[in-house]
Structure 1
Amino acid sequence: MSLTVWLTFVVAAVLISVSPGAGAVNTMSNGLQYGVRRSVPSILGLQLGYGAQILLVGAGLGAIIASSTLALSVIKWLGVAYLIWLGIQKWREPVVTHSEGPPAETSNQKRFWQSAFVNLTNPKATVFLVALFPQFLVAGEPHGPQLATMGITLVLVDCMVMLGYALLASQLYRFMTTPRRQKRMNQVFGSLFVVAAVALASFRRT
């Protein structure tokens, strides 16, 4: 893969990661509640799910799944149900007053696997990668190194973008000084998870 082709792919990777989706909502929710540093486990979980999707497509299984209406439907509706559940949990999350001390934290391990499941149950990623990779594969060159380069690039770019989302969300923490504001923000992010679920439910393979 030439430098020009790779740089073009980097631009595509940035646009993919910046576009709002369930992963971005998940990251912003964690960034708001825990700050940037403590959002890292959830970001790494997203990358595990994303990396699994990339390996799936790279191994050729993605094309098989993308051609199976049943497999895509099962994955899609699992993802829809999970996002709605996350939205309800966020909506019902209790507010914390200064007298109560800091909020109880969800363990790093739990947040890691929650985030991984967000990306693992996103069939749009599989279909998109199946369509994306062939556009950048150079004919006549070994596909393995090219796919590895693209996969690593996607994960690294997504990590940086998600860190940016977490940083942006963490800046809102200083405004969360009253129970009313906390409740409103929990409701906003809970609603965004449900919106992401609706967007996933409306996904139709072309």
Structure 2
Amino acid sequence: MTLEVWLTYLIAGIVLSVSPGAGAVNTMSNGMSYGFKYSLISILGLQLGLALQFVLVGIGLGAIVAQSALAFSIIKWAGVAYLIYLGIMKFRQRGAFDLNAHNEPKVPPFTLFAKAVLVNVTNPKSIVFLVALLPQFINPQAPQALQFTILGLTSVGVDLLVMLGYALLATQLAVFIRSEKHMRFQNRVFGGMFIGAGSLLAVATPK
């Protein structure tokens, strides 16, 4: 893999990560609700979900999903249902935002981590995107495992940095969420965004 090829992939990865999606919504929601420290847990979960997607694509499942309408539909509707579920739960959540950084979150850290993993794993559009994108950057004449590892680490690294940026932005905005009224408004905004992401998945079709 040449430097030019890697830089091209890097640019594509940055554009994909910066574009608002379910992962960004999840990160900002957790950043505003629980603070930067605990949002890191969800960010790590997102990266595990992304890494799992790379593994799935690497062993051929991504190609199956891209070619099979049934497989795509099963994963798509699982993602739709989960995102809408997150949206409804967030929409119904009540309570004022506590600015005390030393307070424990109202959900266990593992729950934040697991939810973030599922947000990425149940996003079939990302799998189809990887299936369409990765072959363009793989040299069939060179060891493919090494190339795939480089591209995977690049994507995870880029997404990690972008999500950290989203989390920092969210924690800065959190100072404006001091009352139950504001918190209820924030929960409904992010709940609506989760439901919107699920609705977009519902109309997604394999390319």
Distance 1:139 1:166 in 2: 38
Give the aligned residue type for 2:137: F
1:165 Cα offset (Å): 0.6
Write the mapping of 1:101-116 to structure 2, written as runs, cut at 5 A. 104-116=105-117
For residue 138 of structure 1, report the CA deviation from its aligned partner. Answer: 2.1
Give the structure 2 partner of residue 8 of structure 1: 8
SS in 1 for 2:20: coil
2:205 corresponds in structure 1 to 204
Supply the distance in 2 between the matched residues of 1:197 and 1:74 (Cα, whole angstroms).
14
Instruction: Name the TM-score, length of structure 1 as normaliser.
Output: 0.94
Amino acid paired to 2:38: R
- State the Cα deviation string for residues 34-91 of structure 1 (Å, max 9, x = none): 1222111111111111111111111222112221111110111111111111111111
User: 2:141 is paired with a residue of what secondary structure?
Assistant: coil
Which whole-Å CA distance do the structure 2 matches of 1:83 and 1:61 have between them? 22
Matched, 1:170 2:162: no
TM-score (norm 2): 0.94
Helix, strand or coil for the counterpart of 1:82? helix
Q: Deviation per CA, 1:89-141, whole angstroms, max 9, x where unpaired?
A: 1111111277xxx6852111011001101111111011100000011112421
Aligned to 2:180: 179
User: For residues 185-200 of structure 1, what are the structure 2 equivalents within 5 Å?
Assistant: 185-200=186-201
Residue pairs, 1:43-62, within 5 angstroms: 43-62=43-62
* Cα separation, partners in 2 of 1:43 and 1:183, compared to 1, 3 Å: same
Contact 2:34 2:105 in 1 (8 A): no
Which deviates more, 133-142 or 45-54?
133-142
Structure 2: any 5+ residue segments left out of the alignment? none
Q: Deviations over 1:130-170 (max 9, x none)?
A: 00001111242111110110001001110110111111111
Structure 1 CA distance, aligned partners of 2:39 and 2:121? 19
C-alpha distance in structure 2 between counterparts of 1:38 and 1:28, whole Å: 11
Question: What's the counterpart of residue 18 of structure 2?
Answer: 18
Separation in 2, partners of 1:97, 1:23: 22
**Alignment CA distance shift 1:173-1:8 (3 Å):** same
Q: Structure 1 residues 146, 14: closer, same or farther in 2, change over 3 A? A: same
In the alignment, the residues of structure 1 paired with residue 33 and residue 189 of structure 2 have an alpha-carbon distance, to the nearest angstrom, of 13
Runs of 4+ in 1 over 6 A off after TM superposition: none
Match of 1:149 in 2: 150
Other-structure match for 2:93: 93
Residue 75, structure 1, aligned to residue 65, structure 2: no
CA RMSD, 1 decimal: 1.6
Preserved CA contact (<8 Å) 1:96 1:103? no
Secondary structure of the residue aligned to 2:157 is: helix
Report the counterpart of residue 119 of structure 1 in structure 2.
Answer: 120
Tell me which moved more, 146-155 or 35-44.
Answer: 35-44
Partner Cα distance (1:103, 1:58) in 2 = 39
Tell me, in whole angstroms, the C-alpha distance in 1 between the residues paired with 2:162 and 2:97: 32
Partner amino acid, structure 2, of 1:204: T
Alignment-mate amino acid for residue 178 of structure 2: T
